[in-house]
Structure 1
């Protein structure tokens, strides 16, 4: 007899497969990394074959895992469509959502996929920009929702979603970078909370540093770190598996975490915006966890 596919197990499997990490999957499904590992083992036990190839840095699908992923997506999509057809009236409209590139790439894809399955007649426009650029767009009603870092100086408060730890990262084979003094640091642009918190941590530690590079985009920071030219401080959710996590034992100070919120414009008081904001709250809310998870790559 074929095993029943538990919806929670499939949700966790899809998250791990799409994000390539049990750690990041744990953030999406609001479970611990250990709980995610146990769920995957349960699913593999029920099927009778491994679904992932695991090593110290990468998490990839086996042939069976690739096959199951296609079916798992279809099963989850049908579940969402069935629920929406029975429990929700037909909702149409358009939502303009703004978010920084690190949150868009790491946190929002599963949310948008699930929302679109439940509300297929709602169109979503996504604007990628830093919080400093999204604040005036929100005030001018050019966007409906902003999934951003809380920043009271920009009047970006909104409804709290999660507290995201900030980790130092560097290129694994470039230990000289984090050992250098002054420390070369790649920073986000001036005015954003991530940069302010990073600089404040360095100043409190009286650690000599130089702002070697600056970028409004996470991709800009990653390019510098990948080149072995500097270290950077990134929200945990957006740390790539290829980079090493640095910390106190490397002489680097702890950085204050970031509060992520959903802020709304004055004209967002309509069902389409309500449902998308609620979906983000449901899928992404989780308690604070400040320590690196066990499948993070830590530089010795």
Structure 2
């Protein structure tokens, strides 16, 4: 007779997932209204059920073991199905409309992992999505033509917006772009930039001015796809994060001045709305996954 598989404890799975997303099981315990020792006991039980360690300490931070990485993906799917079933039985399937905006850097890389699962779980919710630059999204939020937006953190974000994390910025160029030769000749750096106002453009020019490096804007675009096309063509370099970085481009940070990090923020008009809450949760998870798998920064949620 075939051995019956162990049934993983759903409460322990929830503590495990939340602990990884928070970067701390102590913070997870607070959100779950449990003691830290109770959450630690749940993690130990889960490791016993799986027959292996799931997390390890890396300095001050938690890191997943190979087994933990596998379990995390399954745990999220199991909990999602569990929660969907619970809402369906109680007659609480979500309905209504949500208008969400995303900055272009996040649109292609993060949006499919957010909207796909949400639509499958909540087919009665109508979603309209807008991918645009920061300033138009901020204006749309101010005019309340969007319900929520994932944005770069700038000075003009409202106090109620939630900073989800930080991602390092990078000077980016084509693989064949010879930045060393250009610097050796003291030639002005050819820049591929968005039109002003642009947070990345302002950061790039400020850093270069402080480093006393000459520069010139050789290509200006209205869209991120135009930026990537010009950089791939070798027209110059740009400053972005590595979230959604196209193939054939790479970081030039080793040869150019440090440019620091940029915050990522979520602005919602009605954080108590159930559909927005669910979309916000999926957004946090998608960002945490990208940061964890690609080393694209730190999560502060």
**Structure 1 residues 91 and 281, CA gap change in structure 2 (3 angstroms):** same
**1:174-213 equivalence runs, <5 A:** 174-175=177-178, 179=182, 181-213=187-219
Matching residue of 1:238: 244
Q: By how many angstroms is 1:154 displaced?
A: 5.7
Task: Report the secondary structure of 1:230's partner residue.
Answer: coil
2:259 equivalent among 247, 252, 255: 255
Task: Report the secondary structure of 1:153's partner residue.
Answer: coil
Q: By how many angstroms is 1:153 displaced?
A: 3.2
Deviation digits for residues 164-192 of structure 1, max 9, x if unmatched?
A: 11111111122158725100011122112
Matching residue of 1:278: 281
Task: Report the secondary structure of 2:172's partner residue.
Answer: strand
Structure 2 unmatched ranges of 5 or more? 18-56, 297-301
1:158 equivalent among 158, 161, 165: 161
Contact 1:150 1:261 in 2 (8 A): yes
Q: By how many angstroms is 1:239 displaced?
A: 1.7
Larger radius of gyration: 2
Q: By how many angstroms is 1:281 displaced?
A: 2.5
Mapped to 1, the partners of 2:162 and 2:141 lie a distance apart of: 14
Task: Report the secondary structure of 1:238's partner residue.
Answer: coil
Q: By how many angstroms is 1:87 displaced?
A: 4.5
**1:48-63 equivalence runs, <5 A:** none
Deviation digits for residues 29-55 of structure 1, max 9, x if unmatched?
A: xx99xx689459979xxxxxxxxxxxx
Matched, 1:143 2:146: yes
Deviation digits for residues 43-94 of structure 1, max 9, x if unmatched?
A: 9xxxxxxxxxxxxxxxxxxxxxxxxxxxx99x97676344312156211011
Matching residue of 1:214: 220
Task: Report the secondary structure of 2:258's partner residue.
Answer: coil
Contact 1:174 1:228 in 2 (8 A): yes
Matching residue of 1:228: 234
Deviation digits for residues 199-249 of structure 1, max 9, x if unmatched?
A: 11111111111111122321111111111110111112122232121113x
Which segment is superposed worse, 112-121 or 184-193?
A: 112-121
Task: Report the secondary structure of 2:276's partner residue.
Answer: helix
Matching residue of 2:111: 108
Structure 1 unmatched ranges of 5 or more? 12-30, 44-71, 294-300
Q: By how many angstroms is 1:112 displaced?
A: 1.9
Matching residue of 1:85: 85
**Structure 1 residues 96 and 243, CA gap change in structure 2 (3 angstroms):** same
Q: TM-score, normalised by structure 1?
A: 0.66
